[in-house]
Amino acid sequence: MDLGSAVGISIGNTIGATIIGWGSSSLIFGMLCIQVWTYYQRYPNDHITYKLLVAALWTLEAVHQAFVGHIAWFYIVENLGSAIVLLHPPVWTLSFQTLLGSFVGTIVKMCFAMRVWKFSKGNYLVTGLIMGMTLAQFATAIVYTIRSFSLRLVQADQIKTLGSIALSLGVVTDVITAASLSYFLHKMRTGYKRSDTLINRLIIYSVNTGLITSVFSAAVLVSYNLMPSNLIFISFYFSLSKLYANSCLATLNTRRFVQGRGTDHEEATIPTFLMVANTFTRPRSLHPQREQRQLDVPQQKVSFASDSDKIPQFAQAW
């Protein structure tokens, strides 16, 4: 019995998984490149904060994809058929891509946490919980990366607990973020058909984006716990950070379209980290007397951004 068979490793769950992971990661990175190009085409007047965020995410993911390519080359080309490689620590790019992917996820989750902060009108508990879990996941990923350098591939199950904690934190954070956004958005309903329709769109969009990353995180978590000594889990993880980056870019690119509007070639936008002002802009009433009678009725404060005074729009929010 050879070494690979002794530890439950085969060509399919190592080389095959690496090829599939590299291919799917390349595909999703290509989608990210298209989104980045689309962003700069659609929003040339966007705030510099947006542009720096997009540039940083693309740069980090480009480096991450280069790491994935090196991993595939190392295990598929340089060491094809060599079981001795299992007795050595993982190639350095395999460890570093874990940390880099977690860093990208941390950036995106922090951005979404700011959405929760603004939509909740400064809810310290929920926002703090999301940020705390995000930072805890990143800290765990750092420890996991450091430990991985001193272990052989066949000993990966020795740090399974660390990896499981980090992945579990990621899944729970995504679920809490999506649920919080849905809840606070629902509370911002005003009774106006136009604004409520936009809120419904944002709720659906928040749930969908959180669902995709949650499913992939869960897939990594399950496969890692069931098969920690092979590379099936890593084939999912290769794509996870790119899904986070894509969700962030998709949110930026659909800010106008989710409101039924075009792009903002004509006007600049403020950073979404500062979104949702404490004002409520309403159209001029056709019944001034009715409007006067409603002045004493408490109104829920919801931001609207409009291209004209006649059409109320929901705040620019991602």
Can you give the pLDDT at residue 291? 45
Residues of the chain with pLDDT under 70: 1-12, 81-83, 85-87, 153-154, 256-318
Q: Torsions phi, psi of 192, nearest 5?
A: -85, 130
The SS3 call for residue 304 is strand
Cα–Cα distance for residue pair 75/18, rounded to 1 Å: 8
Contact (Cβ atoms closer than 8 angstroms) between residue 212 and residue 247: yes
The answer, as to whether pTM is greater than 0.95, is no
Token readout for 26 is 């390349």
Can you give the pLDDT at residue 199? 79
Contact (Cβ atoms closer than 8 angstroms) between residue 78 and residue 18: no
Token readout for 100 is 């880099």
E runs forming strands in the chain: none
Can you give the pLDDT at residue 86? 67
Cα–Cα distance for residue pair 71/95, rounded to 1 Å: 10
CB atoms within 10 A of CB 26: 17
